[in-house]
C-alpha cells in the first residue's frame, strides 16, 4: 500500500512490491493475479469500511442534520485512520478496469446515494436550505472531506477532531436556513 501511495500505482512494479514485502514472485502470484488485485483489495477494504460506518450513522438517528454532522466527522476522521487508502482511492482508482472498476463504482455510488438521501431528506424537511440539488450538495461536501487528505498534517496546528468540527460548522452554517434570510447568495 505504501508503494502505491508514495510512487503511484502505475509506477509501482510487481518487483518493487515483492521486494518491499520480502516475498517471492511465486508467493505474490499465489495470492494475486496481478498488481491490480492489490489495488482492488485496497479500494474494497476502504469503501466497505466507509459503507459500514455510513449505515451505522444512518441507523442511529432519523435527524438529517445529526446524520450529516456525523457523516462529515466520520469522513474526516477516516483520513487519520486510513490516510493511505484515502489517497490511493482518490488518485489511483482510475487504474481499475472492467469488472473490478464496476464493483468499486457500484460501492462508491451506494455511498454517494446514502449521503444524498441525507441531503434530500434534510431539504424536504426544511432542515437544509435548497441552495443546490441534493446531488451537487453531496458531491461538494464529499469532495471537501476527501481532499483534506492532501493538506491535513498530523503534526499541524489543529487535530482532525477540531478540523472536523470546524468543517462541519462551515457546512451546516452554509446550508442551515437563517431566520428571515433568503438562503442564497
Per-residue pLDDT tens over the stretch 19-40: 999 999 999 999 999 999 999 9
**Tens-place pLDDT, residues 130-144:** 888 999 999 999 999
Is 42 a domain residue? Answer: yes
Average of per-residue pLDDT values in the chain:
89
Residue 184 — very low, low, confident or very high, per pLDDT cuts 50/70/90? Answer: very low
* Mean pLDDT for the stretch of residues 43-52: 93
Is 6 a domain residue? Answer: no
Angle at CA 165, nearest 5°, toward 180 and 156?
135
User: Which residue range(s) make up the domain with 87?
Assistant: 34-175
Here the CATH number for the domain that contains residue 154 is 1.10.357.10
Cα–Cα distance, 58 to 70 (Å, whole number) = 9
Cα–Cα distance, 20 to 15 (Å, whole number) = 9
Is 183 a domain residue? Answer: no
Is 106 a domain residue? Answer: yes
Is 131 a domain residue? Answer: yes
pLDDT confidence of residue 178:
60
> How many domains does the chain fold into?
1
Q: Copy the grid coordinates of residue 128.
A: 437544509
Is 91 a domain residue? Answer: yes
**Tens-place pLDDT, residues 82-99:** 888 888 888 888 888 999
pLDDT confidence of residue 183:
46
Is 84 a domain residue? Answer: yes
Is 25 a domain residue? Answer: no
Residue 185 — very low, low, confident or very high, per pLDDT cuts 50/70/90? Answer: very low
**Tens-place pLDDT, residues 118-133:** 999 999 999 988 888 9
Treating both helix axes as pointing N-terminal to C-terminal, what angle do 98-124 and 64-81 enclose, rounded to 10 degrees? Answer: 140
Amino acid at each position: 500500500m505504501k508503494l502505491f501511495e508514495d510512487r503511484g500505482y502505475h509506477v509501482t512494479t510487481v518487483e518493487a512490491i515483492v521486494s518491499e514485502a520480502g516475498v517471492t514472485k511465486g508467493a505474490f502470484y499465489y495470492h494475486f493475479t496481478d498488481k491490480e488485485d492489490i489495488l482492488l483489495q485496497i479500494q474494497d477494504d476502504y469503501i466497505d469500511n466507509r459503507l459500514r460506518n455510513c449505515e451505522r450513522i444512518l441507523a442511529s438517528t432519523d435527524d438529517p442534520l445529526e446524520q450529516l454532522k456525523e457523516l462529515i466527522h466520520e469522513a474526516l476522521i477516516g483520513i487519520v485512520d486510513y490516510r493511505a487508502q484515502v489517497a490511493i482511492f482518490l488518485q489511483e482508482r482510475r487504474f481499475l478496469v472492467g469488472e473490478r472498476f464496476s464493483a468499486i463504482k457500484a460501492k462508491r455510488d451506494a455511498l454517494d446515494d446514502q449521503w444524498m438521501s441525507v441531503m434530500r431528506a434534510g431539504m424536504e424537511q426544511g432542515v437544509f436550505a435548497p441552495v443546490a440539488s441534493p446531488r451537487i450538495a453531496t458531491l461538494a461536501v464529499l469532495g471537501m472531506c476527501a481532499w483534506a487528505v492532501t493538506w491535513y498534517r498530523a503534526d499541524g496546528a489543529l487535530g482532525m477532531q477540531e478540523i472536523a468540527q470546524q468543517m462541519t460548522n462551515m457546512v451546516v452554517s452554509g446550508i442551515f436556513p437563517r431566520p428571515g434570510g433568503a438562503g442564497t447568495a
